[in-house]
Structure 1
Amino acid sequence: MDKKVKVPFTNKTTTKKAREVSVVGGDEGYRLFVEGVKEYAMIMLDIKGYVIGWNIGAENLLGYKEKEIVGKHFSKLFSLEDRKADKPKLELEQALETGTGEDENWLVRKDKSQFWASGMSTPLRDKAGNLLGFAKIIRDLSERKDLEQQKDDFISMASHELKTPLTSIKAYAEILYKHLEQIKETKGLSHLTKLQEQITKQENLIRDLLNVSKIQSGMADYQTEEFNLDSLVKGTARELEATAPTHIIVVEGKTSHKVSGIKEHIGQVLTNFLTNAIKYSPEAKKVIVRLSENKKSVTVSVEDFGMGIPKEQKKRVFDRFYRSENVKTKNLSGYGLGLYIASQIIKQYGGQIKVESIEGKGSTFSFSLPIR
């Protein structure tokens, strides 16, 4: 009896060509469909990730003919660094968990050259819900990556050029502050304090821009160590609660496993989540941090009871320089870099980051790190 498998290709371009593909018996329906798509690599995988289908777009983009790649594991297309971080496995796990596994990363052609690509994996199931394999779509983003690199190079250069004079301004401001303290010039001290606050804001902006530049160029240091996540969460919560008397930070749950990473990096992610939760819930009095774990990962989530994020804008909150429209109308400060940096840190450690939000009721930001 023939099986029919509905393949929900969710990429906008391919969706225009076919809302769903029926794979009947000897995959004739699939073959006819994918052979007409040349601008995308379209790959069929079995349940373990081995290639069982390969279209002309995949041959053009990756260099392998179908007979050369069928039977090989799709991790062959990933860089050595991503294979070591188990990114192929994590992508399929994400697809099974959420319905779609998406990423942007370097892929490797047959001739060993690398290119920047977006990838999307979708699980294929029969009518009974049994997993039959995965459909993977790959798009070459090299041109966009080159344009982004030019922009990043400019940002890096500008940030370095700004850093030196700002350091001098800060030093002179501190000298002036001590002088005004000695002569007890209270009005001048008040003005100088405001100036120092603005200097600190500029320092934070330059630091974030330099972090973005390092992440984009691959220069960020991600050598790992094992540490206790619970201690880091509780310590960070205490520190921020001391500086934000308007909110109580409640920590719930616990984990029993240590995680691998640089403690300061994970602390930076957590601090970003907590400061955002406080900033964007000015009318609330409480922020909840939850710790949980399963056999594969540990998860930290931060829930606030503030303005929330419009449904149609949730997918973009981890993009560089993006700020949701309802935040802009409230005139709240920010540059749209903190969540982007957080997402890149978590991804570099093989973890996942996500947001759940209802506009007007609040948001829950969470990240998961694999148990090694």
Structure 2
Amino acid sequence: MPARPDYPTFIAGHAEVIERINAGDAGLPTLDILLRVAQEALGAVGMLFAEYGTSGGRIVAATGAAEWALGRPIETESPIAMRMLTGLPTQVLTLDRLEGKFPHQATGRGLHTMLATRLSLRGMVIGSLHAFYPSVDDLPTIEHHTLIEFVGTNLAHMYGHQAGLPVHGDGPVVAALTDGLAIIDFDRKVRLWNPAAEQVTGLSQADVLNATLPFPIPVLDQTLDHRLADGRWLKITASELTGTVDSIVVTFRDISDQHRREGDRDLFVALTSHELRTPVTVIKGYADTLNSHWDELPEYERRHAADVIGQRAGELARLVDRLLSSADEAGPAASSPPAPFDLVEALRLAERDLPTALRRRLLVRLPVDLPKAVGDRSTVTTILTELVTNADKYSGDGSSIELTAQSDERTVVFRVSDRGIGVRPEHVERAFDRFWQAESGDRRRYPGAGLGLYLVRRVIERQNGWVSLRPRDGGGTVAEVRLPRG
């Protein structure tokens, strides 16, 4: 590690970041540039940024020797997360002295010292920024501390503008983490308006004090769901303020996610009927043709009809499995506990189960000496089918889809790579949301229920693995699955 950060390099790179932000181009592409600039200036071998939410977090950007961790989920009770959430804002950690999966995997890849800083916005922790060094003798100086804190401040500023951030649906909630609270008199005039109320409604104290409460009040000791003008939903309760005779305390919180889930159920029914209708119609049409015109049809047409019925029945079976798994909020259950298995053998067997058209496009390059992975072998067919199907959907007929695999000290990885339309950096996490597709118009060009990647992530993470997407150099997309090494 250099004795001092490389300030000229940082200033030059930071100017580019500021220009992009001023031009309105933030989100993951700018976040990635900022990490690369910081890595070089700090003399680190890798950088990553972990985005936190109310139920955990995820590594949404990584560079250099930390790129392997992209897409990895973060548990808030993990040793590193606990240190970042409750300890000093900026810390130097020796990874081989920490318990947990991530420190174990990082030290196995030659990363030993970590300089990390916590990011906060409006009093809430939104993420943490980490720089990695290969030696325990690499002790960052006070100038390194100051620089990474400055980079963290820039990141928090980007989140404050919410331009392409947060990255994933479970990301930081800029609304309140606690209920909004107002105290009103019997004329409905607001006498108290707490900070959480400002965050939930977007209305400041100056906007509402001594004014009429800006939403209806339920019957005392009951609740009311109310939709705001911006489309968000509040759950509102009201009760008398103890110790007073003329005041009411009103509490409210944002329940838009709950209403969104109800909308998801409606969308699920609509998409299910749409997706099932096509294969069922084809199967019925060919079956009716065979039944009504068997004697009139030549042998090759009968065989063709039977082939189509078989292919469509297979598609229908896979679609039903996908829809039923998605409808189960508990997630697709693994049929057996994680155990060591031969990933190459499992992938080759899964390849044989692919439809003929997909097998012809798939270029398989698997090593013969890959270490065993730890997971549920029975899910490999589902995972590979979904990833290859997704690659096929978004790439031209003439291009190949590649299946490769390798390992490192702690994980075994396989990748499905295509030369299709590619994935935009700001979509690499949203692609795993249920029912999500890149553009509303894509459903016509690229039909589908938007469930495949959602299910892949749930299946893999139940096996202590993780999955990520990234743009491929030269065009296309790389889907990467990592499982613990046996």
TM-score (norm 2): 0.44
In the other structure, the counterpart of 1:236 is: 350
In the other structure, the counterpart of 2:292 is: 180
In the other structure, the counterpart of 2:224 is: none
Letter in 1 for 2:336: Q
Aligned length: 284
After superposition, residues 3-22 of structure 1 pair within 5 angstroms as none
- Quick one: which of 122, 125, 136 aligns to 2:128? 122
Q: Does the 8 Å CA contact 2:332/2:458 hold for their aligned counterparts?
A: no
Change over 3 Å in CA distance of 1:289–1:119 after alignment to 2: farther
Change over 3 Å in CA distance of 1:302–1:99 after alignment to 2: farther
Q: RMSD of aligned C-alpha atoms?
A: 5.5
In the other structure, the counterpart of 2:404 is: 290
In the other structure, the counterpart of 1:68 is: none
Are 2:265 and 1:265 equivalent residues in the alignment? Answer: no
In the other structure, the counterpart of 1:355 is: 469
Are 2:435 and 1:321 equivalent residues in the alignment? Answer: yes
Aligned residue for 2:363, secondary structure, equals: strand
Q: Does the 8 Å CA contact 1:354/1:367 hold for their aligned counterparts?
A: yes
In the other structure, the counterpart of 1:338 is: 452
Show CA shifts across 1:295-324 (max 9, x none): 211000111112212233223111111122
Q: CA deviation at 1:270?
A: 1.1
Gaps of 5+ in 2: 1-26, 28-53, 57-75, 88-98, 117-123, 132-138, 149-170, 178-252
Mapped to 2, the partners of 1:283 and 1:156 lie a distance apart of: 30
Change over 3 Å in CA distance of 1:253–1:143 after alignment to 2: farther
Change over 3 Å in CA distance of 1:176–1:338 after alignment to 2: same
Show CA shifts across 1:310-358 (max 9, x none): 2332231111111223981871222211111111111111111111215
Aligned residue for 2:429, secondary structure, equals: helix
Aligned residue for 1:253, secondary structure, equals: coil
Are 2:333 and 1:220 equivalent residues in the alignment? Answer: yes
Aligned residue for 1:232, secondary structure, equals: helix
Q: Does the 8 Å CA contact 1:274/1:302 hold for their aligned counterparts?
A: yes
Change over 3 Å in CA distance of 1:99–1:160 after alignment to 2: farther
In the other structure, the counterpart of 1:310 is: 424
Mapped to 1, the partners of 2:293 and 2:82 lie a distance apart of: 71
Aligned residue for 2:391, secondary structure, equals: helix
TM-score (norm 1): 0.55
Q: CA deviation at 1:48?
A: 5.4
Show CA shifts across 1:248-287 (max 9, x none): 4132335543233332322211111122223322254322
Gaps of 5+ in 1: 1-11, 13-38, 56-87, 101-117
Aligned residue for 2:380, secondary structure, equals: helix
Mapped to 1, the partners of 2:115 and 2:316 lie a distance apart of: 41
Q: Does the 8 Å CA contact 1:291/1:301 hold for their aligned counterparts?
A: yes
Aligned residue for 1:325, secondary structure, equals: coil
Q: CA deviation at 1:213?
A: 1.6
Show CA shifts across 1:111-138 (max 9, x none): xxxxxxx9965255685569x9xxxx97
Change over 3 Å in CA distance of 1:242–1:365 after alignment to 2: same
Change over 3 Å in CA distance of 1:175–1:53 after alignment to 2: closer
Aligned residue for 2:432, secondary structure, equals: coil
Q: CA deviation at 1:247?
A: 2.2
Letter in 2 for 1:179: N
Mapped to 1, the partners of 2:373 and 2:295 lie a distance apart of: 52
Q: Does the 8 Å CA contact 1:156/1:210 hold for their aligned counterparts?
A: no
Show CA shifts across 1:133-177 (max 9, x none): xxxx97669945644554566678889999999999999778645
In the other structure, the counterpart of 1:72 is: none
Q: CA deviation at 1:219?
A: 6.5
Are 2:324 and 1:210 equivalent residues in the alignment? Answer: yes
Show CA shifts across 1:56-82 (max 9, x none): xxxxxxxxxxxxxxxxxxxxxxxxxxx
Q: Does the 8 Å CA contact 1:308/1:357 hold for their aligned counterparts?
A: yes
